[in-house]
Amino acid sequence: MKSKIILLFTTVMMVLTTACNSGAKHNTLTQQEIAEGWELLFDGETLNGWRDYNGEELTAPWFAEDGMIQAKGEGADEHGYIVTEKIYENFELKWEWRIADGGNSGVLYHVVENPKFAVPYVTGPEYQLIDELNFPEPLEDWQKTGADYAMYTTDPEKTIIKPAGEWNTSKIVFDNGHVEHWLNGEKVIEFEAWTDDWFERKNSGKWEDAPEYGLARKGVLCLQDHGSAAWFRNVKVKELPRKTQEVNLFNGEDLHGWEVYGTEKWYVQDGLLVCESGPDKEYGYLATREYYDDFDLTVEFKQEADGNSGVFIRSFIEPVAIVNGWQVEVAPKNMHTGGIYESYGRGWLAQIPEGEDNLIEGDWNTMRIRVEGDNIQTWLNGKEMVNLTDEKIGQAQGRIALQIHDGGGIKVLWRSLKLQTL
């Protein structure tokens, strides 16, 4: 009888051991995940595929050990970030994480790398990870776990937080502006990016002095070491397709959807968009509040006075009123209308020979601008002016902006700004 009991116990233990060993391994993909298009962002052994923010290699205080990505806890607000080598646009991102007692970390996306951006959070939204149960200071709701940091708060009835040291599961969905945050199997946040509500939150809180926050439609993914240890595993991403759209950039009534930079004049009169030099006679800009990267844009303009103006593409704003990017020139005859000029960089990339006989002075002109990847084409009144391929342009993204040149005496009318995303 005793031997039968021992045999039964041994059999049960073997079954349990086999069941445990047959479970899913960490940092691997199932056949179903592979079929659905998921990819691993951590191989379980190395940090291949990751590097410093704005860097070319990995020197930040992170390491791989015991099947986990580990933050040493030596980072600070100004450093300690690692990013993926690959850029992502629309995606589902899921991961498991745990954090030290009183710890603080985060996962960011659509992060833009540029020396002018010292830290990733001035461009990329953050899924907050924090030990709010033991954090030494009071927290606002927008600082708590699962929040879209400083923007959207979680649904408290669905927010299940595990204590420090225990594993949590999280997921971000970004699908052509539709955003979801998931925590431990529950959807805790859902919103639409780049709506009036989104911009009201952006411009009235922590990001009011960060003009490019959250505007990028693609970027690297980022993990944050905020001075406390954190652990990550099973980090997986699935890319989602981009959807095209038709956009009327100017409604004929007001400047909704645009932002003014500088002190020059921008206003709507008789259904037309007017740019006019002000008393300061400085550069002025009217920029879309959203980014447009690959697009086909048609715009009509009429130069009533000195017409030195332009249309910027893939541009970003430095406070207070400096625009970095590429300008499709709009200017008086023999001043290269339709040419391409790079601000704060290489200058003219494509000039138009003198004698633009297709520019109509004192009447309406039609400019067409097509930007796709590293190629930009321009047409003036149906005539091709530029067909330029440039690697630097291909790596950029940003706003569309209209310009007033400095010097004063400028007045240009605009209408029918219609855009098709590609």
Domains, in order of start, for the chain: 27-239 (2.60.120.560), 246-421 (2.60.120.560)
Residue 277 confidence (pLDDT): 94
Q: What is the pTM of this model?
A: 0.90
Mean pLDDT by 10 residues, the chain (422 residues): 40 37 77 97 97 94 95 92 98 97 96 96 98 91 97 96 95 98 98 98 94 98 95 98 97 97 96 95 96 98 90 91 92 93 94 80 96 97 96 97 94 98 98
Q: Which residue, among 113, 36, 48, 39, has the nearest Cα to 81 in the 3D structure?
A: 113
Residue 354 confidence (pLDDT): 65
Sheet holding 219-225, edge to edge: 50-52, 81-88, 219-225, 104-111, 126-130
For residue 9, the Cα-to-chain-centroid distance in whole angstroms is: 57
Q: CA-CA distance, 362 to 368, in Å (whole number)?
A: 19
